[in-house]
Chain A
Amino acid sequence: MRIAECDIAVIGAGPAGLAAAARAKQCGACRVILMDRDRELGGILNQCIHNGFGLQLLSQELTGPEYAEHFINEARDAGVETMLDTMVLSVAPGGRITAVNRSGGLMRISAKAIILAMGARERNRGAVTIPGMRPAGVFTAGAAQRFVNMEGYMPGKRIVVLGSGDIGLIMARRLTWEGARVEAVLEILPFPSGLTRNIVQCLNDQGIPLYLGHTVVDVHGEERVSGVTVARVDDSLKPIPGTEWDIECDTLLLSVGLIPENELTRDAGGELDPVTGGPVVTDEMETSVPGVFACGNVVHIHDLVDNVTREAWTAGEGAARFVAGRQPAGLTIRTRAGDGIRYVVPHILHLDNLAARDVRLFMRATRPDERVQVEAVVGDQVVFSKFERVVRPAEMIALTIPRGKVSSGVAAFGSETRLIVRVRPRDCDAGPKGGAKA
């Protein structure tokens, strides 16, 4: 069996892995190996041929492959080594990687640090339990996207999309442009789960009806899908009897969410957050296993690739620091999702980092809201607060806590202290005083 050694091994060459690998190398790591099971660098971006990538970070509106190319070049220029068509089979708790490919066979790779960037997989029919027959013609939206954009084949001609996730919305438009008829997009929640711009451009502009508060309750057809039965749901998301109707179609596309791909993280012994489905990480993007870092969709599902890249830079820097033995030491404080917030990443912040640099927190709202303050609270102190005109579960919120806002004095509160992030209506002045306003 072949054996390789390196400073940092990066698993997954999507935008997360690419940016993390390049940054780690730029920060002084010696040998950085970037591995992906696909035949090309770029991850899921390769099949996202629509535009809308990189608006924040590169101030350009790029397609997925163009965005990827930018970072592929950067990784190459930095001297990152890549291994494609390479499947990582396991990560032993000690950090030893087993991988396989055609030319190298079975390989052992030992690295001083590992960055997990395996992305996510799509939730499928089994994960959401859609009753009915099991004919051909039920696809996850991403699988259909691969067929259409990369292989040149159509999954069907009359389509119903379940779920208003971004991939489903993008595919509804794409399939319409390819001559298929998208009969409806159904969303079980009372609000869409995709970005507003995608609702507008992919559905409204194409004349595709969106049914909020609706779901598929039956699938028909023995060999190929011949139709679905849909129904309205009540407040507890249960179908309301008597509201069913049938839609004839030959294809059901599922866009019902992504699941962070954490089999390897489990292997390695990393602690997972049940809410995000990804590992618990520090502000260095280090998991609970020392020397194992993570970034991108493997940690939590992102809607904007720009945020993936930002998070990956942090992971790359963190891993490089780890290899150089320059990790932050000292006290940490844990974050917690407060009122109106579903989760916060990272989970653990170093007080030294809070003192020395800006620390970015990513979070999602539990429900849509308007004109709110998103605030970070330690004890009874609002340490930072930011006005948001709208918050939506579909759109990730980033909160950058400026350097020095959380003083090392909070250590005095004791180890049970949390940095709580919450949403507060702007106009009611009930919150504690003394908070800094952004």
Chain B
Amino acid sequence: MQPRRIAADVVVIGAGVVGTGIARELSRYDVRVVLVEKQADVAFGTTKANTALVHAGYDAEPGTWKARLNVRGNALYPKTCADLGVAYKNCGSLVVAATENEAGYLHELKERGERNGVPGLEVIPREQVIELEPHVNPGVVAALWAPTGGITSPWELAIAYAENAVANGVELLLSAPVTGIGVRRGRAFSVRCPGVVMDARFVVNAAGIWADDIERMVGRDDFEITPRRGEYYLFDKRVGHLVSRPLFPVPAELSKGIVVTPTVDGNLIAGPNALLVGDKGDLSTTAVGLAEVLEGARRLVPGLPIRESITNFAGLRAVAAPIGDFIIGPSPGVPNFINAAGIQSPGLTAAPAIAEAVRDILADAGLALAEKPDFNSVRKRPTRFSELGPEEQSALIESDPLWGHIICRCETVPEAEIIEALHRPVSCTTLDGVKFRTRAGAGRCQGGFCGPRVVAIIHRELGISPEKVTKKGGASFILSGRTKDPLLERADECVDEREEVGGRAHCRV
């Protein structure tokens, strides 16, 4: 069979927060952009598993990409999130010193931050820390207050970037793993996925922990990525009030240490630890790692109740060797192949700035960027029932009764919201996709209650048979097949479509 051919000015590989941000930035201009992602949805890589902090920018070594793009990205967050309807909270952050020795280090951090251009840093005394954070370890000595620190929702941002990019003309290919890149006379000219060939004038490599594999496709081997895993505890909203902003310990050598932070949805997360792993698929959590996380978290917030834990997860940092910094720019010898690689922390914060930087690099490399008059920078936040007041809720149900049918009991997600998520510009076909868009299944019962109901809605809305519905694409099937019960076989034939809401086959005979 002939592969489908697509002509593109720019092919962006990887639809994490970095790739989607770049695609959306480029969609301002009159260029043909294709964004390709190997997984079933955007944001299924590192973007779905990190601490979700908008860092202030005092950590990175002055002069590095990390330092510059962190501070610039941080400054771009309020407007980016407002335009795209993404949750963002500028709550500030605290680095908590537990000893006099550590308190001394706070001044070092403050100074480094100031050199990076971080505004408003201040070392505050114990009493003030306790006033801000009553549940912090009472042994606290002082803290570094960073007023520009904040929290966001990484997948909301990537999904919003992708939706806005698509609305502005970007073509998004999901479940499309890049398998090869054609190179001729030192330039990349085509990108291949199963069944698709893209003719490309420029290629952007935003493939996260797989970026070294992608670079090898153009015959270069400039860096090697070894994932460094971070494990987490996620806690029930009930204890979300324990902290009001991210609390960091004084940083360790390899990472910013184990943090305790609220999330924009009102939960609490604790993590990550840091462990190099050999396998890029190894997102497992370990008993040892989780114990380390809990211990670290309790140094900051001693009262953290383990019985309010609702799930654990792990994310992989794209640690590139030998270069410790972000790798942003053309591959040596392949001037139209641009890396946005080694984007470990603070990559989420930097993403809006990385998009600008890559845009400028593309322009320097010869991509003509004429602004589109009809570019629309706004993407409306999807309606979330649980965020509305009673009058608005009533009005919605009046307009469509399915707003009154609650599918996810923990997060109060009505059926109408799930249906809406399944029909937005970026296709969503999986249980995790629904979870990231609506929070159905993200609450304390973790989908035990709504899982079967969401499977039924996906089946009804998208025509995917229940056995084919997956958790996260690929072979992650939820079910293995039908039971032997012949009665139910028959029931299947007399289901009234709408009656099947909630996943129950009703046979009226």
Contact = CB atoms under 8 A, between A and B. Distances in A.
B397 A106 contact: yes
Given A87-B406, A126-B310, A131-B312, A151 B466 contact: yes
Contact of B448 (A124, A156, A224): A124
B252 interface: no
Contact of B404 (A105, A134, A157, A219): A105
Interface string A152-195: 11111100000000000000000000110000000000000000
Interface string A219-234: 1001110000000000
Contact of B281 (A140, A156, A222): A222
A132 B285 CA distance: 5
A218 interface: yes
Nearest to A140: B448
B479 A1 contact: no
Interface string A116-153: 00000110111101011111100110110011101111
A100 interface: yes
Nearest to B231: A131
A153 B238 CA distance: 34
A218 B287 CA distance: 9
A103 interface: yes
B446 interface: yes
B476 A135 contact: yes
Given A100-B404, A102-B405, A106-B397, A1 B287 contact: no
Given A100-B406, A223-B472, A155 B309 contact: no
B283 interface: yes
B471 A135 contact: yes
A133 B492 CA distance: 34
A100 B284 CA distance: 39
B396 to A, nearest CB: 9
A433 interface: no
Interface string B32-61: 000000000000000000000000000000
Interface stretch (B103-111, B363-371, B449-457): B449-457
Contacts of A266: 238
Interface stretch (B169-177, B354-362, B497-505): B497-505
B401 interface: yes
Contacts of A143: 447-449, 451-452
A123 to B, nearest CB: 9
* Secondary structure call for the B interface: mixed
A105 B485 CA distance: 37
B165 interface: no
A85 B404 CA distance: 9
A6 interface: no
A223 B476 contact: yes
B491 interface: yes
Contact of B311 (A102, A121, A125, A146): A125
A132 B284 contact: yes
Contact of A37 (B238, B409, B473): B409
Nearest to A1: B394
A217 interface: yes
A317 interface: no
B397 A105 contact: yes
Interface residues on B, range: 35 or more
Given A129-B309, A134-B283, A155 B393 contact: no
A224 B283 contact: no
Contacts of B275: none
Contacts of A146: 452
Given A101-B404, A124-B448, A143-B452, A151 B503 contact: yes
Contacts of A219: 284
B219 interface: no
Contacts of A311: none
B482 A152 contact: yes
B505 A151 contact: yes
Nearest to B473: A223
Interface centre among A152, A157, A217 (most CB of B within 10 A): A152
A147 B452 contact: yes
A39 interface: yes
Contacts of A131: 284-287, 289-290, 312
B194 interface: no
B485 A152 contact: yes
A222 B456 CA distance: 24
A1 B396 CA distance: 12
A151 B452 contact: yes
B284 A151 contact: no
A366 to B, nearest CB: 19
A37 B479 contact: no
B470 interface: yes
Contacts of A98: 390
A224 B475 contact: yes
B2 interface: no
B480 A1 contact: no
A69 to B, nearest CB: 17
B29 interface: no
Interface string B385-406: 0000011011001100110111
Given A129-B312, A147-B479, A100 B234 contact: no
22 contacts: A1-B394, A37-B406, A100-B397, A102-B402, A105-B393, A105-B404, A121-B449, A124-B311, A124-B445, A126-B311, A126-B446, A131-B285, A132-B285, A136-B470, A140-B448, A143-B449, A152-B491, A153-B479, A153-B482, A219-B284, A223-B471, A223-B476
Closest 7 CB pairs of A and B: A152-B488, A126-B311, A136-B471, A102-B401, A223-B476, A105-B397, A136-B476
